[in-house]
Amino acid sequence: MSALFSEGGDLLLRFILLAGDDATSREIARGDMVKAVTDRQPAAEVERYNADDTGFAAFFERIISPSLLAPLRVFLVPDVHLLDETEFELLGGLLDYDLPDACVVLETERMRSSKKTREAALSKKYAAWLDAFEERAQRSPSAFLVQLFPKPPDYKMADWVEENTQRLFDRRISKTDAERLVDLVGTDTAVLHSELSKIDLYLAAGETVTAGVIDKVAGATRLSTPFELAQALGEKNMAHVLEIIESIYAGSVYLPLYVGAVFRHFWALFKMNMFAKANPAVLGDYRSSGRQRHNDAAMAFGVASGILTHKQANRLYPAVVKPRLVDQALSFSFGHYKRVFSLLSEFDSGIKTGRFDDSKAGFQVFCYRIVKGA
């Protein structure tokens, strides 16, 4: 990031644009900037624009009017893309002002993309304002700054964890353990940051984040998801299934959600199984050592099962490849699938009518029968 202050302590950056759909990283960056200003000038004022409290014109006037009391001022403008045409005109004119005692931090979740659908979502006024701001940032990088925070795709979320564990908490975490944390809590950056914060409080200064710590801190308090149960059943991993059931019954549980997730998972597996029998050449490609052939075949399985569309190649790794769904699909026989669907139908109607046992022990027996096809 460009320096906020000169060596003599003068404020350099006047306008900062934080753009991207990774709201957590944007929030952290904004907090770091505000802290840097208030650390340098404890008497600095920080003011956030709220359309419900005041109009943008009044906020604009406060920005351009020097303060007689505060040595420095920071103005925060969230959701810039939601401003109307008149407000964009004011904001565009603001870029021409010399603000010796103020820094304006602008935030937006909308940024430019190579995808036409995303570009079309940008209003003409907003796109024109972005052009003007980016041009200023190129011409005067000491005063104008653009920082982009795109949310990483799911298959790169472990890299996000690894990078931010070091940057935010000055700790190390291996790629494998970062993937473990993502598997445990999901790919929501806000949740991941929250879990990393809890881990940081648990560890002594300088200690590395390990798998044991992740399981103890992040895994102990988290309710397992229906998807995780379905995945464990598809893997026939009964030990993991029992662990998940323990987690589920640690809080209040509504079993139809889990039964529904298991049905959707096994229905996708069944369609993959049928697709493999009808397309042995594709199955051969999937089992080949060539990465591209393997991925193309995995994509075909994902589309055939209804998990993916032809336009969702970016979701291939987390949705099909990593959980090894094709291997799961082929591990069950046609008769096993018939029995699984029959069990799911019976159990779903049974727990809704009170005929079946919805206790932890009853659900454990049900899951055992799913795995064994009994």
Residue 117's pLDDT band (cuts 50, 70, 90): very low
Summarize pLDDT for 257-282 with one digit per residue, the tens: 888 899 999 999 999 999 999 999 99
- What is 104-168 written as a DSSP string? EEEEES----SSHHHHHTS-HHHHHHHHHHHHHHHH-TTTEEEEE-PPPPGGGHHHHHHHHHHHH
Cα–Cα distance measured from residue 94 to residue 60, given in angstroms and rounded to the nearest whole number: 8
- What average pLDDT score do residues 211-240 get? 84
Q: Which of 18-22, 122-126, 158-162, 233-237 has the lowest mean pLDDT?
A: 122-126
- What average pLDDT score do residues 26-37 get? 89
Percent of the chain with pLDDT over 70: 94
Summarize pLDDT for 292-312 with one digit per residue, the tens: 999 999 999 999 999 988 888
**In the predicted structure, residue 118 carries a pLDDT above the cut 50:** no
- What average pLDDT score do residues 52-64 get? 88
Q: Nearest to residue 187, comparing CAs of 328, 303, 21, 312?
A: 21
Q: What CATH number was assigned to the domain covering residues 15-148?
A: 3.40.50.300
- What average pLDDT score do residues 54-83 get? 88
Q: What is the pLDDT of residue 85?
A: 87
SS3 209: strand
Q: What is the pLDDT of residue 328?
A: 95
The CA–CA distances, whole Å, from 88 to 91, 113, 131, 171 equal 5, 21, 13, 42
Summarize pLDDT for 328-357 with one digit per residue, the tens: 999 999 999 999 999 999 988 888 787 877
**In the predicted structure, residue 116 carries a pLDDT above the cut 60:** no
**In the predicted structure, residue 120 carries a pLDDT above the cut 60:** no
**In the predicted structure, residue 114 carries a pLDDT above the cut 50:** no
Please give the residue that has the higher pLDDT: either 78 or 110: 78
Q: What is the pLDDT of residue 266?
A: 95
**In the predicted structure, residue 242 carries a pLDDT above the cut 80:** yes
Q: What is the pLDDT of residue 263?
A: 93
Q: Nearest to residue 196, comparing CAs of 220, 221, 168, 154?
A: 168
Q: Which of 27-36, 37-46, 351-360 has the lowest mean pLDDT?
A: 351-360
Domain ranges, ordered by start, for the chain: 15-148, 154-219, 226-372
SS3 45: strand
Q: What is the pLDDT of residue 119?
A: 44
Structure tokens given for 76: 């925060």
**In the predicted structure, residue 58 carries a pLDDT above the cut 50:** yes
Q: What is the pLDDT of residue 360?
A: 87
What's the chain's average pLDDT?
A: 87
Which CATH fold topology does 154-219 show? Helicase, Ruva Protein; domain 3 (1.10.8)
> Thinking of the domain 226-372, which architecture would CATH place it in?
Up-down Bundle (1.20)
Summarize pLDDT for 314-331 with one digit per residue, the tens: 888 888 988 899 999 999
Percent of the chain with pLDDT over 90: 37
**In the predicted structure, residue 225 carries a pLDDT above the cut 90:** no
The CA–CA distances, whole Å, from 185 to 18, 60, 227, 372 equal 26, 41, 12, 28
Q: What is the pLDDT of residue 265?
A: 94
User: How is the chain split among helix, strand and coil, in percent rounded to 5?
Assistant: 60, 10, 30
**In the predicted structure, residue 370 carries a pLDDT above the cut 90:** yes
Summarize pLDDT for 175-202 with one digit per residue, the tens: 999 988 888 777 888 888 988 998 999 9
